[in-house]
A = this chain, B = another copy of it.
Amino acid sequence: MEINNNIPQATAKRLPLYYRFLNNLHLQGKTRVSSKELSEAVKVDSATIRRDFSYFGALGRKGYGYNVEYLLEFFRKTLNQDNESNVALIGVGNLGTAFLHYNFSKSNNTKIAKAYDANPDLIGKEVGHVMVEDVEKLDQSLSESDIDVAILTVPGHVAQSVTDVIVKAGVKGILNFTPARLTVPADVRVHHIDLTVELQSLLYFVEHYPLEKK
């Protein structure tokens, strides 16, 4: 099947969610799922689910729902679950350590294959089964790998200089967990997750826009 090449960003962002839920259903031995069940499980309204799926062709049938195995196979291909994707992690502080212990590969083939830090006490040690390498050798080590996505968990004041190095080493995607806003060339994607902003934004909504009990 041909995948529509113009998937909206919002749709693409939900694909891993769908994939994980379908994988769970499959593990439970379920063979089909309705868009209503799917909607309740992933907290996305069924109209949106149907629209999302339409970008991949009509996969559902009225009164039957969706075939789990078929969907799973489809999403697995789409999300490239069959190829192992290796990513690098820069900065093995508290947050970096959390990521290294977090098992990304439990439900998919993505894993942190390389980790870097400047702390001599950490270099050469294993954290979550990954050997921490010297951040000074980042440039050469990354250039020699096939890694093109990095998780950035360094202190904010070195975020831009580390970014310049990893971009030079060929990284095309950065998951930025530092408070710094990064400047990168046009061919590099940055997804920024700013924990302070996320928390402040939630507090702001809770205080200014209280929801009503139904």
Interface residues of A (CB under 8 A from B): 5, 9, 12-13, 15-17, 20, 41-43, 78-80, 85, 87, 93-95, 97-99, 101-102, 104, 107-108, 110, 148-149, 151, 172-173, 175, 179, 181, 185-189, 191, 193-208, 210-214
Q: Given A79-B200, A79-B204, 18 more contacts at CB 8 Å?
A: A13-B201, A15-B201, A15-B204, A17-B194, A20-B196, A41-B181, A80-B203, A87-B203, A93-B101, A110-B196, A110-B199, A173-B205, A175-B199, A187-B212, A189-B202, A189-B205, A191-B202, A193-B193
Residues of B within 8 A of A195 (CB): 99, 102, 104
> Which among B87, B189, B198 is the interface contact of A211 at CB below 8 angstroms?
B189
> Which among B15, B107, B179, B203 is the interface contact of A110 at CB below 8 angstroms?
B203
| Number of copies of this protein chain within its complex | 2
Known contacts A211-B187, A213-B186: A149-B202 contact under CB 8 Å: yes
Known contacts A173-B206, A175-B202, A189-B202: A94-B102 contact under CB 8 Å: yes
Residues of B within 8 A of A194 (CB): 16-17
> Which among B9, B13, B108 is the interface contact of A196 at CB below 8 angstroms?
B108
